[in-house]
Structure 1
Amino acid sequence: MSDVVRYEVTDGVAWLTIDRPEARNALSKDVREGLWAGTRRFVADDDAAVLVVTGAGDKAFCAGGDLKEMAETSLEVPPPDFLPQFGRNIDVPKPTIAAVNGVAYAGGFLLAQQCDLVVASDHARFAISEVKVGRGSPWAAPLSWLVPPRVALEILLTGDPLDAARAKAFGLVNHVVHACDLRDHTQSLARRIAANAPLSVRAAKQTAYLSAHHDLADAYDRAEEIWAPVYRSADAQEGPAAFRDKRTPVWKGR
């Protein structure tokens, strides 16, 4: 981990926080390295069932790339490992949530987009602003799967920000809450996920993304393959037994 990215686990929920509020949590080299380290730590952390990505302060989730650093290094095409992109250059089988506490522009939009769920404060803003600074956004290729194609085109072509309410209306955001409630609301959502059977949660996440990669018939076949070991697991017997016995299930993850 780096000094500008913090990792902490509370009740099975890992919080990965970009702690560079004076620079609007921009993606400097140290931040990028910290995000890589934190993501790998979460994947390997048996005590963490859900990852929340957020930024320190109340102004910015992440304002994107560090433009000063880019100018100094004359950055052209970012390398494939420039930034962790969940599901693209690193496999993250457990659920992820973006807690967006301010602006999520450019690379900040990327971080939010790659998470499975998004909770936003009511003053959050989202933008793919690369067209305004002559940069690129190849990572936005899945956007038209997340929102209607014409909405994706407007976001990409104008570079104009969406407020939290409009982002929610388009399906880019799951929940919009008051800024003072963002952490508690996100923690509560993550804990509800973490309380569920872990094998079922992971399979559910895989299933949700099948239609982005396969036609319907293939998606059904692949879903059957994903869920077969879940049906055969000890947890699949524990759930009904706990219901019968009127007790809280004890998941083993096997």
Structure 2
Amino acid sequence: MQEEVIFEVIDGQIAVITLNRPEQLNALNEPMREGLRQAWQRYEEDPSLRAAILTGAGEKAFCAGMDLKELARLGLGVLPKGLIPTLGENIHVSKPVIAAVNGSAFAGGWLMAQMCDLCVAADHARFGITEAKVGRGMPWAAPLAHMLPQRVVMELLLTGDPLTAQRAHALGYVNAVVPAAQLRDEALSLARRIAANAPLTVKAARELVYLSGEMGRSAGLRAATHLFESVYRSEDAQEGPRAFAEKRAPRWRGR
């Protein structure tokens, strides 16, 4: 693992992945991008890990996006496909990921938050798609049409001006806003509540949300029925009601 990305395991079930270039506002350079690829692979392949948190080191920035000094040195125009490790595009992760946004999330930093399933933010955090200010592009922003009202998306993309954490929360883009000192605890609390649930159901429910966003109502219902068939047939589907009847915590096996 590259030192630009720190990988911690909490409670044996939760991965905390930290972007660790605080002096550079956690901008995405090549070692950090490679560290993220390794971190996501480690999370996906470890069956004991049931939720992950992505956050940034320091108090100023979650992630400032691509390292513009590196881009200038390399002279990149169109970014090579797969350059930025992006969940749901070139990185496959089947388990929940929470963004814990500890400061500014601009450009590619917005993408890092957008690609996660849930988002909690420090009260001083800001979210911005600033590419119009530096002549770059944001093709990765297409999913925002399903996440925010159209006119808000237009405002973000055309002005490059950021949203406060409070406005992002009011718009439904952020799940919770807390004082900075409470951000890690808030993210861990959310991750623990997820990790306590039946892992097969959690995985299928996560996939259901993304499938339904790409399909019409009838197709989404058919896909969901197929998606949950293996969940209903699992050992965990019997364990849950049994544990409830016996008034004890369920012992999930993920099978």
Alignment partners' CA distance in 1, 2:213 and 2:238: 31
1:200 aligns with 2:224: no
Name 1:10's counterpart in structure 2.
10
Alignment partners' CA distance in 1, 2:36 and 2:124: 24
Q: TM-score, normalised by structure 1?
A: 0.99
Deviating 4+ runs (over 3 angstroms): none
Q: 1:35 touches 1:83 (CA, 8 Å); kept in 2? A: no
Alignment partners' CA distance in 1, 2:77 and 2:167: 33
Task: Describe how 1:44-193 pairs up with structure 2 within 5 A.
Answer: 44-193=45-194
Q: 2:19 touches 2:55 (CA, 8 Å); kept in 1? A: yes
Counting aligned pairs with the same residue, the percent is: 56
CA offset at residue 90 of structure 1?
1.7
Task: Specify the code of the residue in structure 1 equivalent to 2:4.
Answer: V
Cα-Cα RMSD: 0.7
Q: TM-score, normalised by structure 2?
A: 0.98
Alignment partners' CA distance in 2, 1:89 and 1:130: 21
CA offset at residue 219 of structure 1?
0.1
Name 1:41's counterpart in structure 2.
42
Q: How many residues align?
A: 254
Q: Which moved more, 1:41-50 or 1:219-228?
A: 41-50
Alignment partners' CA distance in 1, 2:159 and 2:213: 25
User: Which whole-Å deviations, capped at 9, do the CAs of 1:132-186 have from their partners, x for residues lacking one?
Assistant: 0001111111011011111111111111010000011111100000000000110
Secondary structure of 2:248's match? coil
Alignment partners' CA distance in 2, 1:77 and 1:199: 39
CA offset at residue 81 of structure 1?
1.3
Structure 2 spans left out of the alignment, 5+ residues: none
Name 1:21's counterpart in structure 2.
22
Task: Specify the code of the residue in structure 2 equivalent to 1:41.
Answer: R
Q: 2:14 touches 2:51 (CA, 8 Å); kept in 1? A: yes
User: Which whole-Å deviations, capped at 9, do the CAs of 1:167-226 have from their partners, x for residues lacking one?
Assistant: 111111000000000001100110000000000000110111122211110000000000
CA offset at residue 47 of structure 1?
2.2
Task: Describe how 1:236-247 pairs up with structure 2 within 5 A.
Answer: 236-247=237-248
User: Which whole-Å deviations, capped at 9, do the CAs of 1:12-37 have from their partners, x for residues lacking one?
Assistant: 11011011000000001111111111
CA offset at residue 83 of structure 1?
1.4
Secondary structure of 1:171's match? coil
Secondary structure of 2:177's match? strand
Q: 1:19 touches 1:55 (CA, 8 Å); kept in 2? A: yes
Task: Specify the code of the residue in structure 1 equivalent to 2:98.
Answer: I
CA offset at residue 84 of structure 1?
1.5
Task: Specify the code of the residue in structure 1 equivalent to 2:72.
Answer: A
Task: Specify the code of the residue in structure 2 equivalent to 1:247.
Answer: R
Alignment partners' CA distance in 1, 2:78 and 2:34: 18
CA offset at residue 92 of structure 1?
0.9
Alignment partners' CA distance in 1, 2:48 and 2:182: 25
Secondary structure of 2:23's match? helix
